[in-house]
Chains A and B, each alone.
Chain A
Amino acid sequence: MLTKRVKNRILFFLFIFIISIIIAIFILKSLNQNILYFSTPTEIKQVEDISLDKAMRVGGMVKKNSIVVNNKNIQFIITDFENEILINYAGTVPNLFAEGKGVVAEGKLKDKNFFLADRILAKHDEKYMPPEIKKILENNAK
């Protein structure tokens, strides 16, 4: 026979346990819905059934002589030296956005060749290069 004290304690721990599980599920579920996957233009080409309404990131180099500007949008091409993707963006570009430099665009795919970006990622160091792009360059140098 359990005393009242022990019973209360067990109930208390059970309560904490259930609450923590609910919280964990809640956090992990929202995490799963809100992570952004990173892809290169080549990966986008290769995947068969790519989801068009999920936000994602595309990274690579800004292709030389590809930037076109009008009074609303900026268009440019991201390349990983194998495949390319056209980016359309309305917004402010970061400091180091330039042709021939690394870039990461965040937004949604229209189709496999066209990407609507709502954010171009800024990093503030001239030495800095996003790790994803560093990897692309290393792979292509081989």
Chain B
Amino acid sequence: MLSNIGSILVFFILSLSLLIIYYSYVETQTTRTTIKKNIYNLSLFQVTFTILSFFTLILGFIFSDFSIINVYENSHTTKPLFYKIAGTWGNHEGSLLLWINILVVFSYLFLIFNHKHEKNFRLYTLIFQNFLILGFVIFLLFNSNPFSKIYPEPLEGLGLNPILQDPALAIHPPLLYIGFVGCSIYFSAAIASLLSEYSGKQFALSIKSWVQISWVFQTLGITIGSIWAYYELGWGGFWFWDPVENASLLPWFAITALMHSIMVLEKRNTLYEWVIILCLVTFILSVTGTFLVRSGILNSVHTFANDPSRGLFILIFLSLMIFTSILIFFKKHKKEDYNFNSNSKETFILANNWFMVFFLATVLIGTLYPIFLDVLTNEKVSVGPPFYNIVIIPLVIPFLLLMAIGPQFNWINSKKEKLYKTLYVFFGACLINLFLFYFFENYGLYSNLILITAIFLILHSIFDAKKSINNKKKFIFPRIISHLGFGLLVFFIGINHQYSVEVDFNLKVGEIKKFNNYEIFFKNIKVQQNKNYKSVIGSFKITDLEKENINYLNPEIRIYTNPETLTYEAAIKSKVNSDLYLTMSNLPRSDFYNIKFQNKPFMIWIWISAIMIALGGFVQLIIKKNEE
């Protein structure tokens, strides 16, 4: 029943998309300056049907309608309601429907919110967005239909991978998807802008908010994913340079570069071509990331039962997208003159873009190199964190410096004397670093430089904030918040890296382990029956002999039956200044338990700084809305 409704709705979306493309094209040929009502209506129908189809699938999951294969494969009656709903996008087919939802919703919103802009530009954007919708709906219908039926109807479902049954992971995909698929709208707008020759400042204004929205969601999505990895995967780290994490970072670099260069286009009416390239690249990288992850080329928790035909479809679609955009770009682009003074804001923004491109290239090479080597020479290699650390960390130092200095400059040309203040701030940063160096253990040259530059950026942002409050210049707050967030992020990661304590050992129940100034007592284990899993809970007493405080931690081993899986739940005690982290795992044929203990300073501050970066973008959206 639900599956029929769903399939019909998807079919409607497909037909509406074709109608919109047709009517929009006819409309571009007329001389009217406004868009005819029927295109608005068609878009409204399209967005309604799309959202309804998604609700239909959610209903299927809530009521465990196992006649739908997708529900049968990914749900189970004993699963808590929350995870039944989250299961909707916890699998390939459902997440593709979510993907289409975001494409359609953004398409509709872009149409109704940009009424001030030129007619043909809006229509072309609509046409290209609907080509994207069309492509993904065809993919959904012929390859990954979430509404496919199964007969006879099974009595019970197979269940959702337990590792995905987690609140952070329930919201991680929607956030990341809004971030990635949101890029589609300015991909379409960029092509539309080339075709309708609606360029320069006006174009920048039309896409600016959309860039900010998707940037905020991407940043939040990546952060939530990282938080999840920290407490669920049991390694105690938050970034592993895993190929799948890299795939999410690639579009982020491109979009961050775009966020900055779009300001130059808006204020100085230059860099148009570069902005167009970034618009195109951001969405292409989002789809590439999806392709790499979904096709099973990169293996990870994100790969649901992988299927080469999916990869092939995305690959064909991706090539079409790249080919079309390159073709249109080279046919339509115009020569531009660049007139930049070295002491102007735009030069520093360009410098930011250079760094972003460098980071992007590094991560892209590191991620793709093993794939190419495998295809070409059949040799299996992997690129680990050391590569990224060696290549990226040295460049973070000048990057942080420029990030603090750049915003001090004015557009076009600025006077030199302003920089003296910056020098004082720099000495301040050196002093604070010296202080840290003196009171804690010493650390290497790199760490010194990174901490100095991070403190420099933090101090500078604080002074900027103070100045802008005095001058009542609220429009620079978003920049200050994001830059301050980034400075804090690097600072806390640096400190965290320097002072983390990590010990692995094996322990039997009742034993005590002593090391450094810690004493860990494995008191007992008990078994507990939960709704859809059984858990073995260990209880540990951790005594800090130096500070004489005692903490109790209870890590778990969870045994899920549908599907049959073990997961290890880390016990984490978060405090303002540090996290105590403990995982316990059983070892085959042995009374020993494998224990990992970590003391990680300032963990929550790392999360807070990352969220602060996203907050900057959010504040900018609010400020802009109030101005209108």
| A131 to B161 alpha-carbon distance, docked (Å) | 20
Does A31 contact B587, Cβ atoms closer than 8 Å?
A: no
Check if A72 is an interface residue, CB within 8 A of chain B. yes
Contact of A92 among B300, B390, B585 (CB under 8 A): B585
- Interface size of A by CB at 8 A reads 42
Does B596 contact A91, Cβ atoms closer than 8 Å?
A: yes
Report chain B residues within 8 Å CB of A108: none
Does B588 contact A98, Cβ atoms closer than 8 Å?
A: yes
Q: State how many angstroms separate the Cβ of B298 from the closest Cβ of chain A.
A: 10
Does A74 contact B594, Cβ atoms closer than 8 Å?
A: yes
A45-53, A77-85, A120-128 - the one binding chain B: A120-128
Report chain A residues within 8 Å CB of B386: 34
Does A57 contact B366, Cβ atoms closer than 8 Å?
A: no
Q: State how many angstroms separate the Cβ of B237 from the closest Cβ of chain A.
A: 11
Does B305 contact A127, Cβ atoms closer than 8 Å?
A: yes
Report chain A residues within 8 Å CB of B341: none
Does B391 contact A27, Cβ atoms closer than 8 Å?
A: yes
In the complex formed, the residue of B with least CB distance to A19 is B354
Interface of A is mostly: loop
Using a CB-CB cutoff of 8 Å, which residues 440-459 of chain B contact chain A?
none
| A57 to B490 alpha-carbon distance, docked (Å) | 31
Using a CB-CB cutoff of 8 Å, which residues 556-571 of chain B contact chain A?
563-568
Q: State how many angstroms separate the Cβ of B257 from the closest Cβ of chain A.
A: 16
Count A-B contacts at CB 8 Å.
Answer: 119
| A35 touching B382 in the complex, CB below 8 Å, given contacts A72-B505, A124-B301, A126-B563 | yes
Report chain B residues within 8 Å CB of A70: 506, 592
Does B369 contact A67, Cβ atoms closer than 8 Å?
A: no
| A37 to B382 alpha-carbon distance, docked (Å) | 7
| A122 to B531 alpha-carbon distance, docked (Å) | 27
| A67 touching B590 in the complex, CB below 8 Å, given contacts A35-B370, A95-B585, A130-B299 | yes
- Interface size of B by CB at 8 A reads 49
Contact of A27 among B362, B504, B511 (CB under 8 A): B362
Chain A 52-66 against B: per-residue CB contact (8 Å), 1 yes, 0 no? 000001000000010
| A122 to B30 alpha-carbon distance, docked (Å) | 60
Does A132 contact B300, Cβ atoms closer than 8 Å?
A: no
Counting chain A CB atoms within 10 Å of each CB, the highest count among B391, B567, B592 belongs to: B391
Does A34 contact B383, Cβ atoms closer than 8 Å?
A: yes
Report chain A residues within 8 Å CB of B305: 127
Using a CB-CB cutoff of 8 Å, which residues 16-49 of chain A contact chain B?
23, 26-28, 30-31, 33-38
Check if A93 is an interface residue, CB within 8 A of chain B. yes
Does A74 contact B233, Cβ atoms closer than 8 Å?
A: no
Check if B434 is an interface residue, CB within 8 A of chain A. no
Q: State how many angstroms separate the Cβ of B358 from the closest Cβ of chain A.
A: 7
Q: State how many angstroms separate the Cβ of A20 from the closest Cβ of chain B.
A: 9
Report chain B residues within 8 Å CB of A140: none
Does A31 contact B384, Cβ atoms closer than 8 Å?
A: no
In the complex formed, the residue of B with least CB distance to A59 is B380
Check if A86 is an interface residue, CB within 8 A of chain B. no
| A96 to B163 alpha-carbon distance, docked (Å) | 12
| A93 to B387 alpha-carbon distance, docked (Å) | 24
Check if B1 is an interface residue, CB within 8 A of chain A. no
| A106 to B383 alpha-carbon distance, docked (Å) | 12
Check if B473 is an interface residue, CB within 8 A of chain A. no
In the complex formed, the residue of B with least CB distance to A65 is B589
Using a CB-CB cutoff of 8 Å, which residues 570-600 of chain B contact chain A?
583, 585, 587-590, 592, 594-596
| A72 to B507 alpha-carbon distance, docked (Å) | 9
Counting chain A CB atoms within 10 Å of each CB, the highest count among B163, B369, B513, B594 belongs to: B594
In the complex formed, the residue of B with least CB distance to A135 is B380
Does B366 contact A31, Cβ atoms closer than 8 Å?
A: yes
Check if A116 is an interface residue, CB within 8 A of chain B. no
Report chain B residues within 8 Å CB of A126: 161, 563-565
In the complex formed, the residue of A with least CB distance to B365 is A27
Contact of B504 among A92, A98, A125 (CB under 8 A): A92
Check if B234 is an interface residue, CB within 8 A of chain A. yes
Check if B436 is an interface residue, CB within 8 A of chain A. no
| A123 touching B391 in the complex, CB below 8 Å, given contacts A36-B382, A95-B567 | no
Report chain A residues within 8 Å CB of B320: none
Does B301 contact A67, Cβ atoms closer than 8 Å?
A: no
Which B residues contact A (CB, under 8 angstroms)?
161, 163, 233-235, 299-301, 303, 305, 358, 361-362, 365-366, 369-370, 379-384, 386-387, 390-391, 504-507, 511, 513, 563-568, 583, 585, 587-590, 592, 594-596
Q: Known contacts A34-B384, A95-B566; can you find 5 more A-B pairs with CB under 8 A?
A: A27-B361, A27-B391, A35-B381, A35-B382, A71-B592
Top 6 closest pairs, chain A to chain B, by CB: A38-B380, A34-B387, A92-B596, A91-B504, A69-B590, A35-B381
Interface CB pairs A-B, < 8 A, 6: A38-B381, A69-B587, A70-B506, A92-B585, A95-B566, A131-B299
